[in-house]
Amino acid sequence: MTSEPTNELRPRRSVLYMPGANERALEKAKGIDADGLILDLEDAVAPDAKPDARERVCAAVGSGEYGHRELTIRVNGIGTEWHDDDLAAVAQAGPHGVLVPKVNSADEVRALVDVLEKAGAPDHTKLWAMVETPIAILHAEEIAAGHERLAVLVMGTNDIVNETFALHVPGRAPLVPSLTIALLAARAAGKVILDGVYNDVKDAEGFVAEARQGREMGFDGKTLIHPSQVEPTNEAFAPSESDVEHAREIIAAFDEAQAEGRGVVTVNGRMIENLHVRDAQRILALHETITAR
């Protein structure tokens, strides 16, 4: 049986990685219309710059200058020399989320939560886990259900391609099985799940096609590496005007049928069931949350 979502309804269409060592980039991020920002201490930061970057992103989180944007900090991975200090500092900073690379088991999820709680992380600071290895894909269901504080799964598609010896190709056929398994795991556990990044920032057409594919597969949003990708992602993952209009028609027809005691509901000649109503309600709720901004 599918679990009910454990996360509040919050748009996470576009979640942009920003290098934690780059003060100018962190300043620029305040004006980018992404739903969320991942202030990165891992791949985007050179080893000798990591301590300063840690202080910089924690200060950014505490500044209160990022408006509606959900702020998450990606720490260095489990077992690295920076991981423990990252978690301790980030727990005190209290961002919306802490993203941990290469989470491979439910035991790791629970251990991470334990460290965050002992370090004094506030209740609103949720754990985000990157799913980016073959073993993580094979244990995705256990990871997703590992702890209620785990809120979001993030696909690390570059690493999955690398570790499976696959190729980056249009349509992502080699990745589709991994994406699907992780998506099913997230939905079974009631978690949010974000699609991975698109590497070629100059290929706007290819990016739009991949964002549309992610939305069609059922992802909640997409992680991004360049501000130019934000607008098309927001459009791809937001309900269209026709989606909103159709959702309203479904809810109105269902309410009317219930008031009249009718058990059969049709909209534009198509039979409507409870599952269609739930989907329509979700679409309207997402639309209203986005437009309220």
Domain positions in the chain:
14-237, 241-291
Alpha-helical runs (H) found in the chain: 23-28, 50-63, 83-93, 106-118, 134-138, 140-144, 157-163, 176-189, 204-217, 230-237, 241-260, 274-291
Q: Residue 98 in contact with residue 122, Cβ under 8 Å?
A: no
The one-letter amino acid code at 282 reads R
Which residues of the chain have a pLDDT value below 70? 1-8
Which residues lie closer than 8 Å to 106 by C-beta, 6 or more apart? Answer: 139, 142, 143, 145, 146, 147
Q: 58: helix, coil or strand?
A: helix
Q: Residue 24 in contact with residue 60, Cβ under 8 Å?
A: no
215-257 tens-digit pLDDT: 999 999 999 999 999 999 999 999 999 999 999 999 999 888 8
14-237: in CATH 3.20.20.60: yes
Q: What is the DSSP string of 222-272?
A: EEESSGGGHHHHHHHHSPPHHHHHHHHHHHHHHHHHHHHT-S-EEETTEEE
Instruction: Take residue 155 and report the two structure tokens written for it.
Output: 């696909």
Global pTM reads: 0.93
Strands 265-267 and 270-272: antiparallel
Q: What pLDDT score was predicted for residue 5?
A: 39
Q: What pLDDT score was predicted for residue 8?
A: 64
Instruction: Take residue 173 and report the two structure tokens written for it.
Output: 């056929």
Q: Which residues pair with 15 in a beta bridge?
A: 36, 223
Q: What pLDDT score was predicted for residue 9?
A: 81
Instruction: Take residue 42 and report the two structure tokens written for it.
Output: 């891992």
